[in-house]
Amino acid sequence: MLEIKFVRQNLPTVQKAVENRGGTADWEAFNRADAQRSAVLNEIEQLRHQRNVASEQIARLKKNGQAADAQMADMRSVGDRIKQLETELTAQEQILGDILLGIPNIPDPSVPVGRDEKDNPVIKTVGRPPEFDFQAKGHWDIGEQMGILDFARAARIAGARFPLYLGAGAHLERALINFMLDIHTNEHGYTEVLPPFIVNRQSMTHTGQLPKFEQDLFKLENWDYFLIPTAEVPVTNIHQGEILTEEQLPVYYTAYTPCFRSEAGSYGKDTRGLIRQHQFNKVELVKFVEPEHSYEELERLLQNAETILQRLGLPYRVVTLCTGDLGFSAAKTYDIEVWMPAQNMYREISSCSNFEAFQARRANIRFKRKGQKGTQLVHTLNGSGLAVGRTVAAVLENYQQADGSVVIPEALRPYMGGKEKIAP
RNA sequence: GGAGAGAUGGCCGAGUCGGCUGAAGGCGCUCGCCUGCUAAGCGAGUGUGCGGGGAAACCUGCACCGAGGGUUCGAAUCCCUCUCUCUCCGCCA
């Protein structure tokens, strides 16, 4: 959410930014409700002042045993008027709140203007795609032939877009989770957390999934609870409503969680394999930082995620999301895309974003500087470090052998009981 | 699920029969004084949001005592609903 004052004072900037993202908002309704709200609030405050003064007077009269019937009668009508205006105020604030919650974040000036993912500039490419002297297979074929992935049975248990890992497949998924968590905690200074996988409506609103994107979420029936689509939601909300101290910052958390997404509107896309699932595992990185450092923190967050791919020896590239492809809450996002041989293309495996104060304002996460009055909103960042299912897919495809086996990346072997390859 | 207790400022904790209580007292913290170090001591200050005034220090209005409603001229104090915490019982991974 943007600050109402900021929107009011920078309307052209905000309008331009929303337009660049391909969004819309009812600016006229905003102006109307904003003016109306101020007028009503002003009158309410005056009346309340009047009432406060009169109440004191009534208290004094009564203490002296004098009558105060006239004052009390006056105040009764003032009270009625206040109540009436308060209803009006609530209505206007509702309108404003709805509009403000629906306005996306303003992109950082360094974000390129563009329409969609085709306009995302590649900022670097690391590693070289492997060359095979045989026809490279998709990870779904590799996995099913070795009996470590079983999509048919998963479909019977739950439905399409659910995974079932077996044997070495399940072990590989678990190994990757531990591998990633160990690196982020031991080498990158993150604190491991294991949060709730179900959250309430407020938390979802704080990070920006709600109110706009409810159709992307799984909601529990008869409960106002949702399955998390990413650990970003519970982890960012760890500090909702808090005032942190300057010395506490920066705070780094890493969390493994399953993620649940309805994938509404993606029918027919990535129907095979582990790329697009209703349930997948992810190791997430979340940061709370001082505003003046958030962009250097974003660069380091990106590096932290890249480290995993480098250690696994997977080829990848990094793109900057253009304005049209940027997520609702983000001010700037880098996507890391891993090379997928069977599809002969790079696929997103991590998304690293700086939300600036957007989420912090919604979630009311502030900090106080030593010796300074007042508080300031923190900046929040997060990034996948990495999406585990897609990492499994990338390992299977990039390390596949002619005989149908898959070599385990060296760095991962300690996590696989020393095993060097997965064979049929 | 059943029975009971509770939710106040960074923390602890008081708030009488509703009326100068943004909230006593203590701790902590900040600044100053004093003591040749440390400790102790003394003095002052120390919540957040929105708005008005001032160059600024600061002054000023409104709101906030878990959340939301209600009663009342007036509520941290009374009533209702919800959430959370604690104790006991039941059930249970």
Confidence (pLDDT) at A241? 83
Q: How far is the CA of A246 from the C1' of B26 (A)?
A: 27
Alpha-carbon torsion, ordered A82, A88, A90, A94, to 10 deg: -170
Catalytic residue among A348, A369, A405, A413: A348
Q: Is A317 a catalytic residue?
A: no
A276 is a catalytic site residue: yes
pLDDT for A307-337, tens place per residue?
A: 999 999 999 999 999 999 999 999 999 999 9
- Give the burial string for A17-31 (b: 16+ CB within 10 Å, else e): bbebbeeebeeeebe
Q: Whose C1' is closest to the CA of A42: which nucleotide?
A: B51
A55 classed as catalytic = no
Catalytic, A110? Answer: no
> What HEC string does chain A produce?
CCCHHHHHHCHHHHHHHHHHCCCCCCHHHHHHHHHHHHHHHHHHHHHHHHHHHHHHHHHHHHHCCCCCHHHHHHHHHHHHHHHHHHHHHHHHHHHHHHHHHCCCCCCCCCCCCCCCHHHCCEEEEECCCCCCCCCCCCHHHHHHHHCCECHHHHHHHCCCCCCCECCHHHHHHHHHHHHHHHHHHHCCCCEEECCCCEEEHHHHHHHCCCCCCHHHCCECCCCCEEECCCCHHHHHHHHCCCEEEHHHCCEEEEEEEEEECCCCCCCCCCCCCCCCCCEEEEEEEEEEECHHHHHHHHHHHHHHHHHHHHHHCCCEEEEECCCCCCCCCCCEEEEEEEEECCCCEEEEEEEEEEEECHHHHHHCCEEECCCCCCCEECEEEEEEEEEHHHHHHHHHHHCECCCCCEECCHHHHHHHCCCCEECC
Determine the nucleotide nearest to A90 by Cα–C1' distance: B68
In this structure, how many other beta carbons lie within 10 angstroms of the beta carbon of residue A63? 8
Candidates A37, A202, A23, A200; CA nearest to A103 is A23
d(CA A355, CA A162): 30
Residue A109 amino acid letter: P
User: How far does the CA of A190 sit from the C1' of B39, in Å?
Assistant: 39
> How far, in Å, CA of A399 to CA of A407, rounded?
5
CA separation for the pair A147, A385 (Å, rounded): 27
This complex has an ipTM of: 0.85
Q: Determine if the peptide bond prior to A386 is cis (ω within 30°).
A: yes
Sign of CA dihedral A123, A128, A131, A137: negative
Amino acid (1-letter code) at residue A146: M
Predicted pLDDT at A276: 93
pLDDT confidence of residue A62? 85
pLDDT tens-digit readout, A79-121: 999 999 999 999 899 889 888 988 999 999 999 999 999 999 9
Q: Which nucleotide is nearest to A370 (CA to C1')?
A: B30
A242 CA, B44 C1': separation in Å?
A: 29
**Tokens matching residue A212:** 């706009």
What is residue A37's predicted lDDT score, i.e. its pLDDT? 93
Q: Is A132 left (phi over 0), alpha (psi -120 to 50) or beta?
A: beta
Nearest alpha carbon to residue A349 among A286, A281, A409: A281
Tell which residue, A243, A180, A230, A197, has the closest CA to residue A385: A180
Q: Give the residues of chain A that fall short of pLDDT 70.
A: 371
Nucleotides of B under 7 A from a protein CB: 10, 19-20, 30, 48-51, 61-63, 69-70, 72-74
A107 preceded by a cis bond (ω within 30 of 0) = no
| Catalytic-residue membership of A32 | no
Rounded-to-integer distance, Cα A423 and Cα A30, Å: 62
Sign of the Cα torsion A248, A251, A256, A257 reads positive
A191 DSSP β-pair partners: A253
Alpha-carbon distance of A28 to A13, in angstroms, equals 16
What pTM did the predictor assign?
A: 0.92
Interatomic CA–C1' length for residue A396 and nucleotide B57, angstroms = 68
Residues A329, A351, A353, A384: which is the catalytic one? Answer: A351
Question: Whole-number Å distance, CA A158 to C1' B81?
Answer: 39
Q: How confident is the model at residue A97, as a pLDDT?
A: 87
Using CA atoms, how far apart are residues A185 and A192, in angstroms rounded to an integer?
A: 7
Find all residues with CB under 8 Å of A167, minimum gap 6, and list them. A147, A148
**So what's the pLDDT on residue A116?**
92
Q: What is the pLDDT of residue A44?
A: 93
